[in-house]
Amino acid sequence: MTEPAPLRPGTDRDSAAWWELVRRHRLAVQRCTGCALLRFPAREYCPACRSRSWEWRDCAGTGRVAGWTVTHRAFHPAFAGQVPYTVLCVALDDGPGLRCWGRLVGAGPDALAADLPVEAVFTDAEPSLTLVDWRPAAPPH
């Protein structure tokens, strides 16, 4: 039996370039060149100063666990063989208010706690689709 195809992101004109960076294993957010605010998800206007001038800023690739859910029921056939699985909400270390999502890898949900440090892992799901997952960060030496 073949695995059902993963759900595609359904990119838009604001986000397509971000997904292309992920495909090249770069995790980035936008940096406003007017007021330096970092923002994610991708959008054209800065919500603070309304500038349309911005650049990509590579992230540290680290963050803190802000929430998680362990899903026991497949809500789409693509995930039928994967339950239970854990999705994290991660607060990026790069700045306040930057949150993204991804699977927990390299550990089970019992390892999770508030503000647990995690690091990004790029998962090549298909040749044209890379996803950003998260694993508990290695303890500092």
Query: In the complex, which residues of this chain contact Zn ion (CB under 5 A)?
Result: 32, 34-35, 37, 46, 48-49, 51
Contact 132, 99 (CB under 8 A): no
Q: Is residue 122 a contact residue for other proteins (CB under 8 A)?
A: no
Residue 120: HSE in the Cβ half-sphere, 13 Å Cα cutoff: 24
**Nearer to other proteins by C-beta: 72 or 141?**
72
Pairwise CA distance, residues 81 & 63, whole Å? 28
Judged by CB under 8 A, does residue 87 bind other proteins? Answer: yes
Nearer to other proteins, 12 or 58 (CB): 12
From the list 1-9, 23-31, 53-61, the region that binds other proteins by CB under 8 A is: 1-9
Question: In angstroms, what is the minimal distance from the CB of 99 to other proteins?
Answer: 5
CB of 98 within 8 A of CB of 29?
yes
Cβ atoms of 71 and 46 within 8 Å: the answer is no
**What track of x and - describes contact with other proteins for positions 24 through 63 (by CB under 8 A)?**
-------------x--xx-----xx---------------
Tally of CB atoms within 10 A around 133:
19
Closest CA to 1 of 82, 81, 84: 81
Q: Closest distance between Zn ion and the C-beta of residue 38, in Å?
A: 10
| % helix, strand, coil for the chain, step of 5 | 10, 40, 50
Q: Give the interface with other proteins as residue ranges (CB under 8 A).
A: 6-12, 15, 37, 40-41, 47-48, 66-79, 82, 84-85, 87, 89, 96-103, 109, 114, 125, 129, 131, 133
